[in-house]
Chain A
Amino acid sequence: MIPGVRSEWIKLRTTAVPWVMTGIATLITGLSILLIFLNGASGNGNGNGNSAPAFSIVPQTTQQLRNLVGAGVGSYIFAMLLGTLMVTAEFRHKTVTTSFLVLPRRPQFVAAKLVTAAVVSVGMAVFLLAFTVIGGGIGLAADGGSFSALIRQVPAVAPGMLLVFALFGILGVGVGSLLTNQVAAIIVCLGWFLIVEQIIIGIWHGTSKWLPSGAASAAANVTRGRGMDYGLFSWWEGGLLILAYGLIIAAIGSAIMAQRDIT
């Protein structure tokens, strides 16, 4: 198992995939941070005309600071895409032949990718956290806020974010092993979150907590405590749900892959 994971890590870091995925996730996280500050500023401008205290335009309450630290959490979809691409790229570039000669038991091949994707996705989450703390911290300090107050919220946000990224890396490998066609897999991943989930929620409101994004919101909430009940699962229920989705899909994918002729 360990050699397989180390091999997967070499394969992954020697392509552009992890860097491009982290790059896009960072860009989107940067935009989220910007929005948080802009919303704060415009919210202040729409006030009742009284001169608002200067600190009200910057995130200041515990929840605002936690939202700022966790600005990258929505980018878990890039951890998922990373996991998907880890599998589909092997079929696209026909490197899977060599991979199967090295690891002829195909479920082992998928398992090595599941572990690697989880670890690398956690790395991506750590990077995004560092980025939001530094980027958000600078913005905060420039507006007269407290940098140390922001840092104090990291332990509250980080566990949920690392968990969600790891789980979606696993889910991504599952999807990739089931749908080995790269284009189809990417379309399904993006289409699911952008379109299919919205439609399902629109039709059956109660289902949202069972869907991956609902489960992700639940799982991200390890330590933050919820201000109100969104009708979601608890963090560990949500986490188990994503893990179950990922492992079930990966198991079906490996079973199909095990029967497949590599010609």
Chain B
Amino acid sequence: MPSAIEVHNLTKQFGPLRAVDDLSFEVAAGRVTGFLGPNGSGKTTTLRMLLGLVSITGGTATFGGRRYLELDHPCRHVGAVLEATSFHPSRRAEDHLKSVAVGAGIPITRVAETLELVGLTDVARRRVGKFSLGMRQRLQLATALLGEPEILILDEPSNGLDPQGIQWLRNFIRHQASLGHAVLVSSHLLSEMEETVDDVVIVSQGRLVLQTTLADLAQRAGTHTGLRIRSPELPRLIGILEAIPVGYRQMSPDTLVIDGGTPEWFGPLAAQHQIVLYGLANETGSLEEVFLTLTHGFDAADPGLAAASAGAQTGPGPSGPAPTPGVTP
């Protein structure tokens, strides 16, 4: 099946800043693709280039081979929910949707249908200025769905939604994929997307870190373990760890995770240096950790190496994969 969305060597230069750098990935129909990366990693810029809102410095971003500008009825093929999009505060929800439907050549009957779909029928005649953030987000979704598009682009769609709303959104996204639609949904939190996505595209500093399936990412997570330590003497402990050296990540002022460490290895070490411990637990790798390691530990000079060395230490100290001193993790 041809890809619904194709991004090839996409680049965006904002003055001296290269926001998106030679980015390539594809989004398949009938699947949910998570577009993941920390804030400021170029996700929003990429999505806006796809939609013709931001000009492209280099490369291409197309839907079935055609740019958004070249689509005959763009709103009937591609629906988008973008951050920083807004509504005229004194316009009623229903009138907003009517203006879009009429402009995009979509039957006006879709207005009531989409309001029903996102659960805003009761407030259809209310002015959008009185809407909560969650209601605005639903109205944005209704706007995107007006043309019954086969491709959906959602930029951080769960912002502002309450837990019920997030659950609703997950079901909604899964349903769209089950209809054979392609869904590209961005987030800076993988944990938020774990239950929703089939594929992941991970970016950092405007570059592709990894495109793979969620299943593959989960496998990486399974092999990635460490030891979580809580101690009031963290600075001293860090000094000891760096002297060995061993990789670690500091999670909070009193907590760090030692890459590949085990209690059998660390217990004697702590006793030897008389370090006070409040907690010590085996860290079973989570997707979120793989994600954080991939995005933070990403060496911009060599994406291949960075992707291969998931689990590399990220704290200050020697570079390279974490040694596992004398123990098998």
Contact = CB atoms under 8 A, between A and B. Distances in A.
B95 A104 contact: no
A89 interface: yes
A93 B82 CA distance: 14
A176 interface: no
Nearest to A4: B103
B190 interface: no
Given A97-B84, A102-B104, A104-B74, A263 B54 contact: yes
Given A262-B53, A263-B54, A94 B86 contact: yes
Interface residues of A, number: 27
Contact of B74 (A4, A8, A15, A101): A101
B138 interface: no
Contacts of B52: 100, 104
Given A93-B89, A102-B75, A7 B100 contact: yes
Contacts of A100: 52-53
B85 A98 contact: yes
B103 A7 contact: yes
B271 interface: no
B77 to A, nearest CB: 11
Contact of B84 (A16, A103, A263): A263
B48 A7 contact: no
A46 interface: no
Contacts, number: 86
Given A7-B99, A94-B84, A97-B82, A14 B54 contact: no
Contacts of B1: none
B105 A15 contact: no
A109 to B, nearest CB: 9
A262 B143 CA distance: 18
B45 interface: yes
A3 B95 contact: no
Contact of B48 (A4, A10, A11, A262): A262
Given A89-B88, A97-B84, A262-B53, A14 B104 contact: no
Contacts of B55: 259, 261
Contacts of B88: 11, 14-15, 89, 93, 95
A105 interface: yes
Given A94-B84, A98-B85, A15 B90 contact: yes
A152 interface: no
A18 to B, nearest CB: 12
Interface string A84-101: 000001000111011111
B298 interface: no
Interface residues of B, number: 35
B87 A93 contact: yes
B95 A10 contact: yes
A6 interface: yes
A15 B88 CA distance: 8
B54 A261 contact: yes
B54 A11 contact: no
B288 to A, nearest CB: 28
Interface in A98-141: 98-105
Main secondary structure of the interface of B (DSSP, over half): mixed
Contacts of B53: 97, 100-101, 261-263
B48 A104 contact: no
A92 to B, nearest CB: 9
B68 interface: yes
B74 A7 contact: no
A101 B80 contact: yes
Nearest to A97: B85
A98 B143 contact: yes
Nearest to B68: A104
Given A10-B98, A93-B88, A104-B68, A3 B54 contact: no
A11 B51 CA distance: 22
B129 to A, nearest CB: 10
B29 to A, nearest CB: 21
B236 interface: no
Contacts of B89: 93
Contact of B95 (A6, A14, A94, A103): A14
Interface string B90-134: 111001101110111100000000000000000000000000000
B100 A102 contact: yes
Contacts of B68: 104
Interface of B: 14, 44-45, 48, 51-55, 68-69, 71, 74-75, 80, 82, 84-92, 95-96, 98-100, 102-105, 143
Lowest 5 A-B CB distances belong to which pairs?
A7-B103, A94-B86, A14-B95, A10-B99, A262-B53
27 contacts: A3-B103, A4-B103, A6-B102, A6-B103, A10-B95, A10-B99, A11-B91, A14-B90, A14-B92, A14-B95, A93-B88, A93-B89, A97-B85, A97-B86, A101-B75, A102-B103, A104-B51, A104-B52, A104-B71, A104-B74, A261-B48, A262-B48, A262-B53, A262-B54, A263-B44, A263-B45, A263-B53
Interface of A: 3-4, 6-8, 10-11, 14-16, 89, 93-95, 97-105, 259, 261-263
Given A3-B104, A97-B84, A263-B48, 18 more contacts: A11-B91, A11-B99, A14-B88, A14-B96, A93-B88, A93-B89, A94-B84, A95-B85, A95-B86, A95-B87, A95-B88, A97-B86, A102-B104, A105-B69, A259-B55, A261-B48, A261-B54, A262-B48
